[in-house]
Every structure is written in C-alpha cells, then in structure tokens.
Structure 1
Amino acid sequence: MDKALPTVAEAVADIPDGAMVMIGGFGGSGAPIELIHALIDRFRATGSPAAITVINNNAGNGYCGIAAMIKAGMVRKMICSFPRSSNAEAFNEKYLAGEIELDLVPQGTLAERIRAAGAGIPAFYTPTSFGTELAEGKPTEEFDGKMYVRERWLKADYALIKGHDGDRTGNLTYRMAGRNFNPLMAMAAAKTIAQVSVLVEPGSIDPQAVITPGIFVDAIVEVTEPQQEEVLVRTGVVY
C-alpha cells in the first residue's frame, strides 16, 4: 500500500479538535517541525478550538514547534516530563494564566507508559514517584520489600513523528539521537503520521536497518530539508 502523501498539510488534515496527539522528539532532536507547523496553519485557517492534548518529552522552546502550538492557544493539556526547559516562555505564560493543564510524568515512566501501550500492556509497576505528589491516588504494592506505583499505559489518537529514510509503505529509519521517542509513539497511536528526509521506493531500505515497520505508519510525507528547532529558537523565529 502506498502511504505517501504530497504535502504536510494533507498529512495532518484529518486531525480533529480534541485529539490526543503524541509528538516525537527529545528537545529538537527528531522533532517533526513541519508537521507541527502544518497543524498550526490549519488551525489558523479554520479558527477551530483545537483543544489538543499533546504528549511530548517537554513543553516546547521559543515560539516554534510545540511552543508555537501552545502560544496559538491550540493545546488544552500537556503530558510531559520537562515543562520548564530553558526557553519555555509560551508554556509558562499559558500555565500561569490557567489556560493550559499539565500532567507531569517522570521521563522513564513516560517512555514506559508509551511502550506499554504499543505492546498491549495495560499497566505496570515502577518505584519511580512513590511517596511523592505524582503518586497520589494511584494504586501501590510491595514487591520484595520495596514499594511500587501502578502506572497505566498511554495511548494517543495520532502520533506525529520524524524519521530519516522511509519508503512508501511506511518503513522507517532514524538518524542518530532522532530515534528517541519516535518508534515508541508510532506503536502507541491509533494513527501515525511520519515525515522523512528521504522517501524511497519499497525494497530500497535494508530490512535489518528498519526501526519502525510500515505496519505502524499510516501516512508518510517527504520533507527534504527539515528545520531544526534549536536553530529556529536561536535565530528568534516566531511561527
């Protein structure tokens, strides 16, 4: 099945208001900037309420990418580990004004909740957060003399991810640290949309090099010169 789409606008066209959206990346590494900005463009064109729940490692930097979504008022809730990074002005402003919700999740727990969803595991136990505010209201249990907190899997309606090479059936590779959360999120969402730097024909990627099999990808779009979040922040770009 050919899953390639001609533009990022078409790739995000079906994401509805109120959707729960996982967005790949660790800081700017592996962040699908063009897909995010296409979603912002659609929001600005339609004026819809959006009210999106975003799942990411942080709450964006500067005024591009996820931070631009927050600044535009598109994000109802952030589920992340590090909401206050070095340039998190957009999130800080909205949070202090009571205009965005926050679900704070330890980084390892966040990764495991996403992985669990992709693996079909509804819950697991972790010692992380036991005895803290993050564990309040959650079931706990003792194993071998140590207390653990039960955490639920974390699913999403959509995942926006960034690969490096991809073929038309959705098989993906990643460049170096760009791998991070992207493969996990591809498995944990009902629909996964990937942008890649190089789109090739099926059979062009060595099967042993494939990190995300095409079965987890629903749409793929080529972005030959993807933007890097850190560069946009450093140069003061406001999207």
Structure 2
Amino acid sequence: MRLTIFSLLLFFLVGCTPDELIPCREDGPSGKLCREYRYYNDEPQGYVELDYVGDSVVSSLYDRNSILQKTVIERFDGDRVISITSQYPDQESVVGTYHYNEMDSLFLIVYGANDSTLQISYVDGKRFRETRLIEEVIMYYTEYRYFQDDGKLYRKSLYSANDSLINYRNFDYFNTNGIERYRTTEYSSEHELIGRRLFTFSQNGLISSMEYRLADGTVAASMNYIYDGAGKLIEETGQNYGNTSKSVYLYH
C-alpha cells in the first residue's frame, strides 16, 4: 500500500506544472511542513519536499521540471541535529556530523572524513569563537561579544587566519510602540559602514519583516513573512537588488 501511495505521489509531482500547488498527502504527520514552492521574479523555480522517517527529516529539492537536484538528510537525537548528509545525483555525498559538549552545546562540526571542521568554543556558557579549519589549517574565525547587562549579542567579528579583521557586525535591540525590533550594522575592516539590516517582530514574537539598507540609504533587499492562525509560516516574499523571490509553504 505504501508503494502505491508513493507511486501516485510521484506521478502527480512529475505530471503537474511547477506552478501548481499540490496538497500534502493525508497520511503525513499533522502540522509538519511537507513542501516549499519557490519562485524568482514570478517564475516557478521548483520545490522542496519533506519526509519524516524515524529520527530523520529528508528534504528533496526538485527543479522547475520536477527533476531531483539534491537530497538533504538531517538526523536528530531529540531536538539536537547529529548529522546532515547532502546527496546529489551525479556527485559524491557530503556529510557533516555534529558533536556536543557536557553542557549540551554544539562544539564541533566535522565535514567529510575530518578534512574540514568548524570548532566552537564558549565562555561562561555563551558562544565565544567559531573557527573554520581545512585539513587542520585555520581558514578564518568568528568572535562573539555580548552586552554585560542583559547578555544579548553585541558584536560579531570575522577574522582571517593571520588575525586580520575582515568585517564586523554590531547588534542593537529596541522597542517601537510595543513592537520588538533589532538591527545589525555591518562595517568593513576600516570601520566604514557597509549596510544595516532591520528585523521587525509581531506581538507574538514571530519575525514579520527584514529590510537591508546600504550605506547610502538605498534599500537593497527586504523580506516579509506571513503566518497562519497557528503561527506557521505560510508565505515569504522578498526582493534583492531589484529581483523578487517568494516561497509558499504547505503543511500536513
């Protein structure tokens, strides 16, 4: 019976044009995301289909002709991801394994056969540094700084392997007429303004919009988020340097 359902689903996925929204199958896990349809400049670009198998989430990415381009398998231990595998039709798979310390905090991501890693260190329970290495050679690292009063993130700085500053980003948090917002301001290594991102949240704490302005005030990118009554994201629209994008989300 399972094979029959899969065969029917595959027939409809391949047989329909990519701009048709296919409802989720009825036997899926209630409330879980089943499919994301993607659009670019109002043209359909394909979709992502999610399947839930035991402790894993399998995401299959199809192009606008319903041809499989990539499969991502995320394995979980409770709420913690323990591995992510990316599979391609004509390339070798890429595997990342996630490792946690005694405080249940992520401290190491290993890509492939230990040829690339991301090492994460903490100070007083807060993330302090992320270091990217390839074959045990440091490529770059990111450092985090926090406000002393409330412990929120204050600055995120990117450095090269020789400790030269590449860029940094400051974080500001504020409330406007009861609406929570935060802003990130990005600077170059010469402390010149690159741009600002403003994030706005709804009264129930869900992100509602993002706007990115360049140093001259030009709005280079923006995003808007729409939710259903249960707080599930159902549509995401945006523009980036004049090009538009949209994602539509369907749930079981």
Q: Above 0.5 in TM-score?
A: no
Higher normalized helix content (fraction of residues) = 1
The alignment's TM-score, normalised by the length of structure 1, stands at 0.29
Greater gyration radius = 2
Greater share of strand? 2
